[in-house]
Amino acid sequence: MLTVIPDLLTPAQLTALRETIDAADWIDGNATSGAQSALAKRNRQLPEDSDAARAGGAVVLDALAASPLFVAAALPLKVFPPLFNRYGEGDGFASHVDNAVRIRRGSDFRIRSDLSATLFLSDPESYDGGELIVQTQFGEQSVKLTAGQMVLYPASSLHRVAPVTRGERIASFFWIQSMVRDTDARAMLFDLDTAIQSTAARLGQDDPEIVRLTGVYHNLLRRWAEL
């Protein structure tokens, strides 16, 4: 399941974030690659322990915490500190699957990568190519979003970044360990939560059926959650 989180960043947050990371020093993107990814990846990246990456990551984490849609879709237990990459002309990332476990360098922080996230930070009109292409059960889906918007997708998905042919694609990327490991269970909970919220908007939160359905949601989450 692909889920778009529209307008995760406000215009002010986006501007401040870009000012912070654009002025920083960037390194070869393979600094955080596994053996397979290193053969497929051509881009640049902010060092994950740099001041710019930490400051930019804090902005992203604050925005995630304030997004009910992100919380409902991801049911996050842990979020890997956001990283930042840029693809110039000729850069791209061939088909790959993200590592199952991500470890923050120099620490004991680690997560199981249930979901991958890409937060677009460049206006789509400013570059050609650079689409995130994810293989799903319905075939390939191509994603190229407005700056400040984010897409969530299963980290187990085969995916790639199409080569950039003009301009520069800048994004934040990171992984989430969900309270609910199973992709299908997480999708059902998201659908149920969405249906409850839309129905409650018509009937009211205190409607008896809404109360009952909310109880079903929480009992399913209680059954499936791993903490």
Query: 150 with 208, same domain?
Result: no
Q: What is the pLDDT of residue 138?
A: 87
Query: 196 with 173, same domain?
Result: no
Query: 174 with 193, same domain?
Result: no
Q: What is the pLDDT of residue 24?
A: 96
What whole-number distance in Å separates Cα of residue 45 and Cα of residue 31? 8
DSSP 8-class letter at 32: G
Query: 174 with 191, same domain?
Result: no
What whole-number distance in Å separates Cα of residue 94 and Cα of residue 77? 29
Query: 65 with 139, same domain?
Result: yes
Query: 75 with 51, same domain?
Result: yes
Q: What is the pLDDT of residue 105?
A: 85
Q: What is the pTM of this model?
A: 0.93
Q: How many domains does the chain have?
A: 2
Domain that holds residue 201: 183-224
**What is the CATH classification number for the domain harbouring 191?**
4.10.860
Query: 39 with 135, same domain?
Result: yes
For the chain, which residues score pLDDT lower than 50?
none
Query: 105 with 196, same domain?
Result: no
| Cα separation values, 182 from 53, 56, 57, 109, 155, Å | 31, 30, 27, 22, 12
**What is the CATH classification number for the domain harbouring 166?**
2.60.120.620
Query: 145 with 219, same domain?
Result: no
DSSP 8-class letter at 31: G
**Could you tell me which residues are beta bridge partners of residue 78?**
177
